[in-house]
């Protein structure tokens, strides 16, 4: 039986106090949820437990013994396993090799026993009900959800006494989420201590026994689930009440963008109009072709046939530069790999597109001035605009991407999963921003898998299924059931 | 303040250079700090530095070119061929030599950016091809080049031979361009995140082709200057230059993964290596030991840089 | 703006063009009556300083000479075959004013820097290959054309003046091209000889072996191969042995390292055209020494008289090694 106790943990990064005086107690056989906005210090805490970071102050006590976790190997040895939010799998290897990455079964000569490796992996996969995957499937051929499950299998392969999960359901389907919850309940009965980090508050109330809250690196307390409501939890996390979504339409009659019989590699014959001031939702399952349609409109992917008409002019594009200069903006789903220059400053990130369009000589003073304006306007939390983007939290990074496009003053915004993996506070700020853009007569195409978000924000919702337009619902008639029905049947 | 200086490679390297210069002046007061010796060091590193500027731009955008050493030889030999066998005037011959180099850069860039051929393999193959072309153009070597061609590099200004001035001009010009123009700043974005740069409206492929053309063009200029300085075109010019130049650029703050590096770093990196080499010649370190010592100093410098950065970033 | 233009004009005007031709180089007087023996030091600058043949012959003899005469000798130069780097090294050495410079004449492009050394008053001797268009004080070495001739004549004898012949070396080197020419000029008189190719083995044993085996598969009736760099011989011999044609395909090549000699002994290589490299640097250094010490003064002031007191050109001649005389060379070295 394990009992993990964190005493007065503090950690400071240059310019940021990531954790201050955090004390937590986690018992065996308990699912302990940890929540807080992005940047609240959850990841730092987790990295300390994983041995990736050392606390500046405080102690970690495991079964009455004070431990210093020097490295990830050290953490494994102490029975701590972690499922990371950002996948740690190696694409070019198969499932079994990934699951037992550091721990291949070997014979006494140190030669890998592949038979045993595959057998052990396949047992684990069965336990996770992953029937479609075999141990020798290449990881690169898996869907994001399947990868996440493999990641979980990897953690379980260590037979951990303490299991930490960071946003495990962010890319999982409902069915997979249910399987995961069953497994976690079973592990809990076996006496495993589970730390569960998530933004999805609904999940926490289903799964957790108790909930601890961090805000700005400070511990806000641990509560039994029964003593909390969603509203009170949000208040603890954000420190303020959040206005619920209320939709007010700014839709005008004038058509801004018109997509006519557009076909590409993964979609066929898609036609729709976007009005000025309209927020148009694109709903559908992951892989239905929504992102591909968006990229094609933006000029990032090849169009096989069909036209994109902006302001009654047919666009002839072979590169995003053409659409950008005509007034389009695209916020990609994969923020880190497609949207940001992580090692560059906030200023460089914000000004990249604007500069690319306008002038030949770089004016550092002007760039700094504009960046500071936008930083203040969007409340980007950073000490100064010379800070590298990689040091910002997810929500602030997304604001940086949005700021970049605000600077070019486009007419059409295409936003792809704009609030994916972002904390509640920043989410609402982004909603407000999108609404204010609509009120200025901009057109917004929003791709999202978060149905409440679509229903709350959009004037109309298009449903994409297998690369074709499966239906259109106005905000009045749309419900979660209807959207789901259209996208699956 | 100190940590800020150590964070930026060009400052820490400049400090190191000053220290090395002072120490060498104290140890060899008669031979090292003379005008003759110092201008000789600059002259000797001018070829490498001009090529390193192009390489720096490539490294900033996350690629590199192994064929530059061969291009140096090719440009020199082709120019000499045109002068010697076709008897064309000097400006025409020089233009032909440099344009041919730019063309080689275009081939590299086109195949790498548009056909997705691995840059390492592409430029390595080009290294062989271009070296062969240089051999074809020059045979063993072309001697007795016209006076006005030799005058390009053998003239002196303020007592210093011209290639040094060309090098300084290149450094100043490209430092300005890379710091101050949107066009060249794009390379930092491309090296930082190629896909994000593309989605931000930067035509990444086109920019990459231009970078290869520029780098090869500068190698061509270096080749013309070198053969003018030697008064002859040798097909063996620029052997192993590509690795020296990449080393200089990385010493000067570039990284193989792209996104970082500053143009003056190319000069400082090359200057550091040239200083060490010069001190070894002056102190008569035997030829066998020079490469070993240079290697150890390079590793030591980069290692010390990492250690100091870590230590001071905590303060 | 006008100031800048004016400044630019001034700068351009102060630009100093190079002398019109090499003979215009001012011959600086060094012939002070006092003999320069303080800090006496002789510096050898070569390229490919780590090449075994250079190390074992040229440099070993040079060092031995230094010890015997109790003067300081230094060996400098790049590790790779890099003529511009050799030139850079010489330029830097000139600044340190050594007593004498011994320069491996790797390429005619050295002429300028040699002139610069001479103008700076440094006694300068070129060895191995001559740099004829320079003002060097003396040259000691061999004529690569003769090496080619020797190989050509021996090959003609070995294959009775007819059959297919291939040859290889480092392409693009001046001395080697002269060697090729010497050989080709001999073959010209024998129409029965068919040349199947000129190859670049890049001074690399594996490359020489690969080329030879490719040529052998293309021409099973290959009669002979001539090699022109140190590593050609061992590479050619290896491929010929592996194809089971040792002794039948005639091989002539250069240099007489122990492995070359062993291959002659076993009959795979038929002739070696060897250079007397030890003599190059020994006498080269001695010439410098004699010049500095004015051992043989010919006039009141040799420099004022426009003469040097050492030989102008010395050809050390070649060594021809075949199966008949190979034993004497084999036992010579420990």
Residue range B244-270, pLDDT digits in tens:
899 899 888 888 888 888 999 999 999
What is the token pair recorded at C144? 């690569």
CB pair distance less than 8 Å for A320 and B259: no
What does the buried/exposed string (b/e) look like for C142-163 if buried means 16 or more CB atoms within 10 Å of the residue's CB?
bbbbbbbbbbbbbbbebbeeeb
Q: Is B35 on the interface with C (CB under 8 A)?
A: no
Flag if B138 and C111 touch (Cβ within 8 Å).
no
Q: C100: alpha, beta or left, given left = phi > 0 and alpha = psi -120 to 50?
A: beta
With touching defined as 3 or more inter-chain CB pairs under 8 Å, the answer for chains A and C is: no
| Residue A466, min C-alpha distance to chain B (Å) | 25
| B164, C91 contact by CB (below 8 A) | no
Q: Among A109-113, A324-328, A417-421, C111-115, whose mean pLDDT is lowest?
A: A109-113
pLDDT at A242: 46
| Distance from C-alpha of B12 to C-alpha of A119, rounded to nearest angstrom | 55
Going by C-alpha positions, the residue among C192, C189, C193, C270 that lies closest to residue C227 is: C270
Give the CA count within 13 Å in the CB-facing half-sphere of A333.
17
Q: Tell the residue number behind the tokens 């490919």, with chain if given.
A: C48
Chain-chain contact of C49 with B278 (C-beta, under 8 angstroms) = no
Alpha helices in A326-415 (DSSP H): 346-358, 364-377, 394-408
B66 pLDDT above the threshold of 50 = yes
d(CA B69, CA A109): 48
Residue A52: count of CB within 10 angstroms of its CB: 15
Structure tokens at C55: 């190390």
Paired with A474 in beta bridges are A460
B255 touches chain A (CB under 8 A): no
Angle at the Cα of A228 from the Cα atoms of A222 and A231, rounded to 5 degrees: 120
pLDDT, residue A204, reads: 82
CA-derived radius of gyration, chain B? 20
Q: Is the pLDDT of residue B198 over 80?
A: yes
Test C82 with B236 for CB contact under 8 angstroms: yes
Q: Of chain B residues 239-268, which have a CB less than 8 A from chain C? A: 239-240
196-225 of B, contacting A, C-beta below 8 A: 196-203
Cα distance between residue A452 and residue A461, in whole Å: 12
* C96 shares contact with chain B (CB less than 8 Å): yes
- Give the model's pLDDT for residue B220: 94
Neighbouring chains of A at 3+ CB pairs under 8 Å are B
Residue-averaged pLDDT of chain B: 87
Helix (H, G, I), strand (E, B) or coil at C326: helix
Chain B residues near residue A343 by CB distance under 8 angstroms = 192, 259-260
A341 with B199: Cβ contact below 8 A: no
Q: How far is A167 from chain B (nearest CA, A)?
A: 25
Q: What is the pLDDT of residue A77?
A: 82
State the residue for tokens 């004549």: C153
Answer yes or no: is pLDDT of B102 > 90: yes
Per-residue b or e along C78-109, where b marks 16 or more CB atoms closer than 10 Å to that residue's CB: bbbbbbbbbbbbbbbbbbbbbbbbbbbbbbbb
- pTM of the predicted protein model: 0.77
> How do residues C253-270 score in pLDDT, each as one tens digit?
998 888 889 899 988 999
Strands (E) in A249-317, as ranges, are 255-264, 267-275, 279-284, 305-310, 313-314
Contact C172 B138 (CB under 8 A): yes
Q: Do B259 and A14 touch (CB under 8 A)?
A: no
Q: CA dist A179 to A83, A133, A137, A449, C12, Å? A: 16, 15, 21, 20, 81
Contact call for B201 and A357, based on CB within 8 A: yes
User: Taking CB atoms and an 8 Å limit, are C17 and B290 in contact across chains?
Assistant: no
Q: Across the interface, which of A325, A330, A344 has its CB nearest the CB of B188?
A: A344
Contacts of C91 in chain B (CB under 8 A): 40, 43-44
Q: Is B306 on the interface with A (CB under 8 A)?
A: no
Q: Which two three-digit tokens encode residue A327?
A: 């007034």
**What backbone torsions phi and psi does residue A134 show, to the nearest 5 degrees?**
-105, 160
User: How far is B244 from chain C, CA to nearest CA, in Å?
Assistant: 12
What is the average pLDDT score of chain C? 85
Q: What per-residue confidence (pLDDT) applies to A241?
A: 47
Average pLDDT over residues C102-123: 89
Chain A residues whose beta carbon lies within 8 Å of the beta carbon of residue B202: 321, 352, 356
Chain B residues with CB under 8 Å of C15 CB are: 155-157, 162
Encode pLDDT of A141-174 as tens digits.
777 777 777 888 888 887 888 888 887 877 777 7
- The pLDDT, as a whole number, for residue A40 is 73
Best to test chain C binding among B25, B51, B75, B140 (most C CBs inside 10 Å): B140
Mean pLDDT of the A14-26 span: 77
The confidence band for C271, taking pLDDT boundaries of 50, 70 and 90, is very high
* pLDDT (average), residues B226-243: 86
Residue B20 has pLDDT above 80, yes or no: yes
Per-residue pLDDT reduced to its tens digit, A450-480: 777 888 888 888 888 888 888 888 888 887 7
Contact B192 A319 (CB under 8 A): no
> Which pair of tokens denotes residue C217?
């598969």
DSSP for residue A333: S
Across the interface, of B31, B138, B240, the residue whose CB is closest to C96 is: B31
B284 touches chain C (CB under 8 A): yes
Return the residue of A nearest to B178 by Cα. A362
* Percent of chain A residues topping a pLDDT of 90: 2
Nearest CA in chain B to C95: B37
CB C146, CB C178: distance < 8 Å? no
Whole-angstrom distance, CA of residue B246 vs CA of residue B255: 10
Q: Is B151 exposed, middle or buried (0-12, 13-18, 19+ CB in 10 A)?
A: middle
User: Which of B180, B196, B260 is nearest residue A361 as measured by Cβ atoms?
Assistant: B180
Query: What's the Cα-to-Cα distance from A409 to each of A256, A440, B146, C246, rounded to whole Å?
Result: 15, 11, 59, 80
Q: Which of C50, C88, C207 to mutate to test the interface with B (most CBs of B within 10 A)?
A: C88
Taking the CA of residue C110 and the nearest CA in chain B, the distance in Å comes to 8
Residue with tokens 């890099």: C82
State the pLDDT at residue A172: 74
For residue A134, which of A176, A157, A124 has the smallest C-alpha distance? Answer: A124
Question: C281 CA to chain B: closest CA distance, Å?
Answer: 17
Residue that has been written with the tokens 């040859």 in this structure: C167
Q: Is the pair C, B in contact (3+ CB pairs within 8 Å)?
A: yes
Rounded to the nearest angstrom, the minimum Cα separation between B178 and chain A is 9
Of A324, A332, A341, the CB nearest to B201: A324
Contacts 24+ apart (CB under 8 A), A173-179: A173/A145, A173/A286, A176/A145, A176/A148, A176/A149, A177/A203, A179/A128, A179/A129
Beta bridge partners of A57: A10
CA terminus-to-terminus distance, chain B = 11
Give the pLDDT confidence of A331-347 residue by residue, as tens digits: 988 888 888 898 888 88
pLDDT tens digits, A230-254: 777 777 776 654 445 556 788 888 8
pLDDT score at B268: 92
Task: Tell me how far apart the alpha carbons of residues A325 and A373 are, in angstroms, rounded to a whole number.
Answer: 22
CA B98 to chain centre: 16
Mutate to test the interface with C, among B28, B69, B141, B281 (most CBs of C within 10 A): B281
For residue C214, give every residue at least 6 positions away whose Cβ sits within 8 Å of its Cβ, in sequence order, or none.
Answer: none
Predicted local distance difference test score (pLDDT) of residue A51: 84
Using a CB–CB cutoff of 8 Å, tell me whether B283 touches chain A: no
What's the rounded mean pLDDT across residues C4-25? 67
Q: Between these two residues, B96 and B141, which has the higher pLDDT value?
A: B96
CA-nearest residue to C175 within chain B is B140
Distance from the Cα of B303 to chain A's closest Cα (Å) equals 21
Residue A249 near residue A459 (C-beta atoms within 8 A): yes
Report how far apart the first and last C-alpha atoms of chain A are (Å, whole number): 48
Distance CA B87, CA B74 (A): 18
| Beta-carbon separation of A348 and B179 below 8 A | no
Q: Which range is least confidently modeled, A53-57, A206-210, A417-421, C208-212?
A: A417-421
Residue C26 has pLDDT above 50, yes or no: no
CA-wise closest residue to B266 among B29, B36, B9, B6: B9
Is A63 buried (19+), middle (13-18) or exposed (0-12) by CB count in 10 A?
Answer: middle
* Contact by Cβ (8 Å): A176, A5: no
- For residue A207, name the pLDDT band (cuts at 50, 70, 90): confident
Q: Which of B179, B186, B193 sits opposite A356 (nearest CB)?
A: B186
Cβ distance of B201 and A325 shorter than 8 Å: yes
What residues of B are in contact with residue C176 (Cβ under 8 Å)? 140
Q: Token digits for A40? A: 């609240």
Residues 156-195 of C with CB under 8 A from B: 171-174, 176-177
**B313 interfaces chain A, CB cutoff of 8 Å:** yes
Of A300, A324, A341, the CB nearest to B193: A341
Any alpha helices (H) in chain B, and if so which ranges?
2-7, 9-27, 35-60, 68-85, 90-113, 119-138, 147-154, 162-180, 182-192, 194-199, 204-230, 241-251, 263-282, 287-313
């Amino acid at each position: 039986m394990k009992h993990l106790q964190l005493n007065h943990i503090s950690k400071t990064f240059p310019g940021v106090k990531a954790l201050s005086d955090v004390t937590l107690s986690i018992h065996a056989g308990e699912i302990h949820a940890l929540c807080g906005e992005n940047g609240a210090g959850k990841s730092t805490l987790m990295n300390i437990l994983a041995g990736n970071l050392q606390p500046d102050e405080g102690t970690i006590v495991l079964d009455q013994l004070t431990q210093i976790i020097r490295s990830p190997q050290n953490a494994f040895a102490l029975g701590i396993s972690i499922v990371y939010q950002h996948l740690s799998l190696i694409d070019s290897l198969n499932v079994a090799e990934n699951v037992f990455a550091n721990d291949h079964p070997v014979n006494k000569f140190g030669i890998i026993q592949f038979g045993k490796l595959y057998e052990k992996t396949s047992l684990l996969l069965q336990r996770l009900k992953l029937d479609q995957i075999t141990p020798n499937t290449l990881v690169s051929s898996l869907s994001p959800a399947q990868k996440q499950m493999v990641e979980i299998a990897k953690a379980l392969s260590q037979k951990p006494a303490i299991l930490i999960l960071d946003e495990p359901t962010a890319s999982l389907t409902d069915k997979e989420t249910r399987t995961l919850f069953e497994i976690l309940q079973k592990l809990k009965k076996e006496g495993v201590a589970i730390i569960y980090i998530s933004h999805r508050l609904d999940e926490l109330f289903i799964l957790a026994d108790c909930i601890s809250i961090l805000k700005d690196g400070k511990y806000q307390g641990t509560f039994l689930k029964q003593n909390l409501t969603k509203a009170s939890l949000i208040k603890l996390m954000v420190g303020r009440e959040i206005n619920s979504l209320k939709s007010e339409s700014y839709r005008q009659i004038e058509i801004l963008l018109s997509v006519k019989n557009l076909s590409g590699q993964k979609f066929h014959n898609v036609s729709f109009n976007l009005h000025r001031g309209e927020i148009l939702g694109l709903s559908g399952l992951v892989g239905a072709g929504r992102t591909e349609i968006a990229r094609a409109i933006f000029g990032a992917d090849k169009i096989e046939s069909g036209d994109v008409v902006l302001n009654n002019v047919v666009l002839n594009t072979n590169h995003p530069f053409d659409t950008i200069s005509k007034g389009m903006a695209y916020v990609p789903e994969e923020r880190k790999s497609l949207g940001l220059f992580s090692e560059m400053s906030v200023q460089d990130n914000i000004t990249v597109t604007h500069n690319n369009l306008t002038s030949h000589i770089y004016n550092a003073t002007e760039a700094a001035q504009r960046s500071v304006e936008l930083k203040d306007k969007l409340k980007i939390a950073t000490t100064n605009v010379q800070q590298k983007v990689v040091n910002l939290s997810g929500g602030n990074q997304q604001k940086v991407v949005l700021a970049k496009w605000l600077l070019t003053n486009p007419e059409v915004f295409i936003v792809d999963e704009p609030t994916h993996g972002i904390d509640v506070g920043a989410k609402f700020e982004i909603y407000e921003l999108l609404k204010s853009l609509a009120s200025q007569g901009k057109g917004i195409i929003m791709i999202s898998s978060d149905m409440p978000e679509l229903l709350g924000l959009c004037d109309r919702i298009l449903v994409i299924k297998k690369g074709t337009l499966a239906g259109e619902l106005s905000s009045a008639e749309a419900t979660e059931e209807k959207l789901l029905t259209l996208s699956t049947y | 303040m100190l940590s800020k200086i150590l964070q930026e490679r060009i400052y820490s390297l400049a400090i190191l250079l000053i220290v090395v210069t002072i120490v060498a002046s104290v140890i060899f007061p008669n031979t090292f700090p003379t005008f003759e010796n110092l201008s000789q060091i600059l002259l000797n590193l001018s070829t490498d530095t001009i090529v390193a500027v192009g390489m720096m731009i490539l490294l900033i955008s996350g690629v590199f070119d192994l064929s530059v050493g061969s291009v140096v030889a090719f440009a020199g030999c082709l120019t000499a061929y045109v002068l010697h066998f076709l008897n064309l005037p000097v400006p025409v011959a020089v233009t032909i030599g440099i344009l041919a180099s730019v063309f080689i850069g275009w081939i590299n860039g086109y195949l790498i950016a548009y056909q997705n051929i691995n840059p390492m393999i592409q430029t390595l193959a080009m290294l062989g091809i271009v070296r062969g072309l240089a051999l074809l153009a020059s045979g063993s070597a072309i001697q007795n080049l016209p006076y006005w061609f030799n005058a390009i590099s053998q003239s002196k200004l303020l007592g210093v031979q011209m290639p040094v001035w060309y090098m300084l001009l290149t450094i100043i010009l490209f430092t300005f361009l890379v710091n101050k123009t949107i066009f060249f700043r794009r390379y930092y974005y491309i090296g930082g995140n190629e896909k994000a740069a593309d989605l931000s409206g930067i035509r990444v492929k086109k920019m990459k082709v231009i970078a290869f053309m520029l780098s090869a063009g500068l190698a061509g200029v270096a080749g013309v200057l070198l053969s003018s300085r030697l008064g002859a075109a040798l097909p063996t010019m620029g052997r192993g230059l590509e690795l020296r130049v990449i080393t200089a650029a990385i010493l000067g703050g570039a990284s193989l993964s792209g996104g970082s590096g500053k143009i003056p770093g190319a000069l400082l990196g090359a200057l550091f290596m040239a200083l060490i080499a010069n001190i070894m010649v002056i102190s008569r370190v035997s030829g066998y030991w020079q490469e070993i010592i240079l290697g150890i100093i390079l590793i030591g410098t980069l290692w010390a840089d990492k250690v100091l950065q870590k230590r001071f970033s905590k303060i | 703006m006008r100031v800048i233009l004016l400044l630019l004009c001034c700068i351009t005007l102060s630009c100093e063009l190079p002398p019109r031709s090499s003979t215009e180089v001012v011959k600086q007087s060094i012939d002070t009556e006092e003999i320069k023996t303080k800090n006496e030091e002789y510096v050898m600058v070569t390229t490919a300083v780590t090449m075994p043949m250079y190390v074992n012959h040229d440099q070993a003899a040079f060092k031995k000479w230094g010890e015997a005469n109790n003067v300081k000798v230094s060996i400098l130069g790049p590790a790779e075959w890099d003529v511009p780097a050799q030139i850079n090294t010489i330029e830097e050495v000139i600044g340190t004013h050594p007593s004498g410079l011994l320069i491996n004449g790797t390429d005619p492009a050295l002429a300028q820097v040699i002139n610069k050394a001479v103008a700076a008053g440094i006694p300068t001797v070129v060895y191995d290959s001559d740099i004829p268009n320079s003002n060097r004080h003396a040259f000691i070495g061999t004529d690569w054309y003769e090496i080619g001739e020797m190989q050509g004549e021996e090959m003609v004898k070995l294959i009775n003046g007819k059959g297919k012949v291939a040859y290889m070396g480092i392409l693009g080197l001046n001395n080697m091209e002269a060697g090729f020419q010497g050989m080709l000029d001999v073959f010209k008189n024998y129409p029965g000889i068919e040349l199947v190719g000129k190859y670049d083995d890049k001074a690399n044993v594996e490359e020489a072996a690969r080329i030879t085996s490719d040529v052998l598969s293309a021409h099973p009736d290959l009669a002979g191969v001539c090699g022109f760099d140190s590593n050609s011989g061992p590479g050619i011999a290896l491929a010929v042995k592996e194809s089971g044609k040792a002794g039948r395909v005639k091989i002539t090549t250069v240099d007489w390292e122990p492995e070359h000699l062993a291959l002659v002994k076993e009959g795979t290589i038929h002739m070696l055209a060897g250079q007397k490299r030890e003599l190059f640097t020994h006498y080269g250094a001695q010439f410098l020494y004699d010049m500095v010490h004015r051992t043989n003064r010919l006039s009141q002031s040799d420099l004022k008289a426009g003469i040097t007191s050492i030989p102008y050109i010395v050809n050390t001649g070649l060594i021809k090694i075949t199966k008949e005389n190979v034993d004497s060379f084999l036992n010579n070295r420990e």
